């Protein structure tokens, strides 16, 4: 349990340990490993959004002199439908396999149909055209509303909606229906003086990581295999790949490369099982690297959604009822982040009467994957927009309305437990007192405010801290570093050991070096792996005390340890950590601490954002003039990294709100498959994102840490959406606020 305390190293923005490698180009990413004898793999992808696959003839491709292997779904083991950890929630291993290579149906434009491995990358790409596929075209279903209609073409004949008391008799594109409720919603609305009800839509949006998916693999004759890949979770890559190929976990070693962005999109396998099949069949190492268009059409964007939000309040601003409805596009296979959307939608507010209904719906788009607080941005966008409209209707300041109803310790959540100590009130107060909020809104500009909530998670982390004879050490952990976590691990270990962080080298171990560690995601790493680092470091301190006690002929309880020095409380003796490590051979062997934990007590992180925009009324272009992100970090281990997470989340949310969407033609083919036309914000598009880090410690972490990586993407959708609406005096009900859409609102409003 954490208490307020002074830290020696925690709270400083130290030089990142991976900095030099990254700025000099030394850092090795997913596409950077080359092995002797390596060949290249490429994927043949469906040109159709929905089609039965009648036949796949690989004869001509296999006869090509440069082609060394061809793979289809038949090369995977026979699988049954079963859950496996992957991305948000549990995925179905059968769906995972059918997404890596299509079985009997092409379910989206870009769906992998077959794969080739050839001597050169060019040869592999050229040989794809030798694979002959016969398709029977089917009408594509590209929209969640169309997919939910009774007469919609059905993607999976064996999908019957789960969540109704009686199992439906007719197959459907609705995989799951769920409902959460508390209190009496009708009574709640009956006592409201003001009721606001709106419908909203959000688009399919991609995580936009700069580094495409890439892997190099080798399958050896005895079945012992290696995968090098860009991933947020190499242990889960091992699990998924082993399941799809019917391998023992012990036969598969996975090494996580440096990663050029993931944001949730790299918690799923796409290439690895296919590459391993090609390696097994060819007897050669295989490298596969996606091109940019493949990343857009064939990985996992987040769900487009249709949402309805209804909120009621008394004249004094007390919220009496909240009702939500949402339908999320899962893509070609079930498993959208609808459930987190249901759970988070109204969680920032204390309200006794809440009902939220959600639907997980398949459509002919690539299977959705996690994207930073998956499911929450869409749902909380709808909720925050109606909260803002409620404030307007009541004549209340939007922050004051939120303060009046803010969730706090003891607030009952719709998903079950009561909240522990949280920092929403502190974030709202910081927002209200911020220079941005205190500034006047420039003539013609619009200002938006929104809050955001995300649970954060704990889970399994494994760490060893190995001390060297000179008193330096290595922190061996299993969490790929997607946002600077190595620096934080270094600092937490330094705090316990009482030595400078620069004396500790944090490394990411492969799956053979450490026990299982859960993926880096869910804002878990600084919290959970940090707890394991602290525990492992405390084990080192305990061993140091024992060694010193043995040398001094006292008990370990008579030895104090502080600032890297062991002291004999029964005498004047002192030994530094380095001195104890130097004599480790003589006192019993090298000193190493270990912790394998299932971390619990992750503390939620709340955020509040403020945005001012200007809208060009002739073109519909929106300029963000000023943006402030306020978020509760619990305790900022490395403040600069925390600010970076707040800024990064804000920028991604702004892009989602302003410009990012998948555009499909009438055949379900994506038209904007590159960064030129899929417009993510550039540094030149936005002002500096101002940040205010609030610290309301999480009592369950030794240093008070709350994860911060995800919450920051949630508020921007409503913050920007509301600001644009104020600037043009219209109601914004559909994102993104791209120039054509904004212009249409201005002209047709």
Partner 1 sequence: MATVIFSSELQKLTGEEQTSVKARIYKDIIAELITRYSSLEEENLMKMAIAIDGEIVHNPLLEVIDETSELHFLYRISGG
Q: Report the Cα–Cα distance between both ends of the chain, in Å, rounded.
A: 54
The residue among 302 and 445 lying less far from partner 1, judged by its C-beta, is 302
Helix (H) or strand (E) holding 696: none
> What gap in Å lies between CA 648 and CA 231, rounded to an integer?
19
How many angstroms separate the Cα of 90 from the Cα of each of 133, 268, 358? 32, 11, 18
**Residue whose CB is less far from partner 1, 598 or 619:** 598
For partner 1, the closer CB: 376 or 584:
376
CB of 130: closest distance to partner 1 in angstroms? 38
Nearer to partner 1, 99 or 456 (CB): 456
**Sheet of strand 319-331: strand arrangement:** 174-182, 354-362, 319-331, 305-313, 194-202
Q: Which of 445, 472, 596 is nearest to 532 (CA)?
A: 596
Q: Which residues bind partner 1 (CB under 8 A)?
A: 83, 85, 87-90, 163, 165, 178-182, 207, 263-265, 267, 339-340, 343, 369-374, 415-420, 454-459, 519, 521-524, 598, 600-602, 700, 710
List, in sequence order, every residue forming a beta bridge with 464; answer none if it has no partner: 476, 594
Compute the least distance from the CB of residue 325 to partner 1, in Å. Answer: 15
- Please identify, using beta-carbon distances, which residue of 46 and 368 lies nearer to partner 1: 368
Pairing of β 504-508 and β 473-477: parallel
51-57 sheet: strands from edge to edge:
105-106, 51-57, 132-137
The CB-of-321 to partner 1 minimum distance in angstroms stands at 16
Which residue, 178 or 583, is less far from partner 1 as judged by CB?
178
> What is the distance between the alpha carbons of residues 243 and 246, in angstroms, rounded to a whole number?
5
Contact 7, 563 (CB under 8 A): no
Q: Give the burial string for 618-656 (b: 16+ CB within 10 Å, else e).
A: eebbbebbbbbbbbbbbbbbbbebbbbbbbbbbbbbbbb
Shortest CB 422 distance to partner 1, Å: 11
User: Residue 118: which H helix or E strand, with range?
Assistant: strand 112-118
Phi-psi region of 204 (alpha: psi -120 to 50; beta: other; left: phi over 0): beta
Closest approach of partner 1 to the CB of residue 302, in Å? 8
Cβ 634 to partner 1 shortest distance, Å:
15
Q: Least distance from C-beta 709 to partner 1, angstroms?
A: 8
CB-nearer residue toward partner 1: 343 or 467: 343
Question: Which candidate, 455, 497, 450, 453, places its Cα nearest to that of 473?
Answer: 497
Taking the complex as a whole, the smallest distance from the CB of residue 208 to partner 1 amounts, in Å, to: 13
**Smallest distance from the beta carbon of 478 to partner 1, in angstroms?**
16
Only one residue has tokens 């959970």, namely 528
* Phi, psi at 596, each rounded to 5°: -120, 105
Closer to partner 1 by Cβ: residue 60 or 418? 418
- Strands 446-454 and 605-615 come out as antiparallel
DSSP alpha helix (H) spans, 346-461: 376-394, 398-405, 424-432, 435-438
Q: Indicate the residue among 317 and 697 with the shorter CB distance to partner 1.
A: 697
Residue 52 or 598: the one with the smaller Cβ distance to partner 1 is: 598
Closest separation in Å from C-beta 139 to partner 1:
32
- What secondary structure letter does DSSP report for 526? I
What helix, strand, coil percent values describe the chain, rounded to 5?
30, 25, 45
- Which residues are registered as beta bridge partners of 475? 465, 506
- At 159 the three-state DSSP class reads coil
State in angstroms the smallest separation of the CB of 369 from partner 1: 8
> In terms of CB distance, is 485 or 519 closer to partner 1?
519
Residue 4 makes CB contacts below 8 A (sequence gap 6+) with 697
Residue 105 or 367: the one with the smaller Cβ distance to partner 1 is: 367
The nearer residue to partner 1, 44 or 518, going by C-beta atoms, is 518
Q: How far is the CB of 282 from partner 1 (least distance, A)?
A: 34
Minimum Å gap between C-beta 266 and partner 1 is: 10
């Amino acid at each position: 349990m954490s208490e307020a305390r002074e830290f020696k190293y925690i709270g400083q923005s130290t030089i990142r340990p991976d900095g030099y490698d990254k700025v000099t180009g030394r850092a090795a990413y997913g596409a950077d490993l080359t092995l002797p004898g390596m060949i290249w793999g490429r994927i043949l992808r469906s040109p159709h959004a929905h089609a039965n696959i009648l036949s796949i003839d690989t004869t001509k491709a296999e006869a090509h002199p440069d082609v060394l292997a061809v793979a289809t779904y038949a090369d995977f083991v026979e699988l049954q439908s079963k859950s496996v950890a992957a991305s948000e929630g549990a995925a179905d291993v059968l769906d995972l396999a059918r997404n890596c290579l299509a079985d009997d149906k092409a379910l989206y434009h870009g769906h992998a149909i077959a794969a080739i491995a050839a001597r050169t990358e060019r040869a592999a790409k050229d040989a794809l055209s030798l694979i002959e596929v016969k398709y029977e075209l089917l009408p594509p279903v590209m929209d969640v509303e169309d997919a939910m209609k009774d007469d919609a073409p059905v993607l999976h004949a064996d999908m019957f909606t789960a969540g109704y008391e009686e199992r439906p008799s007719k197959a459907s594109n609705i995989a799951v229906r769920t409902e959460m409720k508390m209190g009496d919603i009708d009574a709640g609305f009956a006592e409201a003086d003001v009721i606001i009800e709106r419908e909203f839509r959000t688009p399919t949006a991609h995580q936009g990581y700069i580094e495409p998916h890439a892997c190099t693999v080798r399958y050896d004759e005895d079945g012992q295999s290696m995968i090098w890949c860009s991933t947020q979770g190499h242990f889960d890559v091992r699990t998924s790949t082993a399941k799809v190929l019917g391998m023992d976990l012990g036969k598969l070693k996975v090494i996580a490369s440096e990663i050029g962005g993931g944001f949730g999109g790299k918690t799923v396998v796409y290439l690895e099982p296919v590459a391993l099949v090609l390696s097994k069949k060819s007897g050669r190492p295989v490298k596969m690297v996606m091109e940019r268009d493949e990343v857009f059409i064939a990985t996992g964007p987040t769900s487009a959604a249709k949402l309805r939000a209804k909120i009621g309040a008394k004249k004094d601003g007390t919220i009496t009822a909240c009702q939500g409805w949402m339908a999320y596009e899962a893509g070609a296979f079930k498993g959208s982040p609808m459930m987190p959307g249901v759970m988070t939608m109204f969680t920032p507010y204390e309200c006794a009467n809440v009902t939220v209904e959600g639907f997980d719906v398949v459509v002919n788009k690539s299977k959705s994957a996690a994207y930073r607080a998956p499911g929450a941005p869409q749902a909380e966008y709808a909720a925050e927009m109606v909260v803002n409209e409620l404030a307007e209707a009541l004549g209340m300041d939007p922050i004051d309305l939120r303060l009046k109803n803010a969730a706090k310790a003891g607030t009952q959540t719709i998903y079950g437990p009561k909240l522990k100590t949280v920092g929403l009130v502190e974030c709202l107060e910081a927002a209200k007192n911020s220079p941005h909020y205190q500034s006047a809104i420039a003539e013609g500009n619009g200002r938006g405010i929104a809050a955001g909530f995300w649970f954060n998670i704990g889970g399994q982390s494994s760490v060893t801290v190995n001390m060297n004879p000179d008193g330096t050490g290595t922190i061996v952990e299993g969490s790929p570093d997607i946002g600077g976590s190595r620096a934080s691990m270094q600092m937490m270990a330094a705090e316990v050991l009482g030595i400078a962080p620069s004396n500790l080298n944090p490394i990411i171990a492969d799956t053979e070096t450490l026990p299982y560690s859960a993926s880096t995601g869910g804002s878990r790493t600084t919290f959970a792996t940090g707890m394991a680092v602290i525990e492992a470091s405390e084990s080192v301190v305990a061993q140091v005390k024992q060694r010193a006690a043995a040398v001094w002929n006292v008990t370990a309880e008579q030895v104090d340890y502080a600032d890297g020095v062991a002291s004999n409380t029964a005498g004047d003796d002192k030994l530094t950590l380095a001195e104890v490590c130097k004599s480790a051979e003589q006192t019993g062997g090298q000193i190493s601490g270990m912790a394998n934990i299932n971390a619990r007590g992750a503390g939620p992180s709340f955020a509040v954002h403020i945005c001012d925009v200007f809208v060009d009324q002739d073109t519909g272009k929106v300029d963000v003039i000023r943006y402030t992100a306020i978020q509760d970090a619990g305790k900022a281990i490395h403040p600069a990294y925390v600010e970076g997470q707040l800024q990064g989340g804000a920028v991604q949310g702004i892009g989602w709100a302003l410009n990012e969407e998948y555009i499909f033609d009438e055949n379900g083919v994506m038209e904007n498959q590159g960064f030129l036309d899929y417009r993510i914000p550039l540094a030149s598009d936005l002002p500096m994102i101002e940040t205010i880090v609030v610290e309301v410690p999480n009592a369950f972490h030794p240093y008070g840490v709350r994860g911060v990586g995800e919450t920051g993407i949630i508020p921007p959708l409503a913050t920007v959406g509301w600001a644009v609406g104020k600037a043009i005096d219209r109601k914004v009900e559909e994102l993104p606020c791209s120039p054509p859409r904004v212009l249409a609102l201005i002209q047709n409003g």
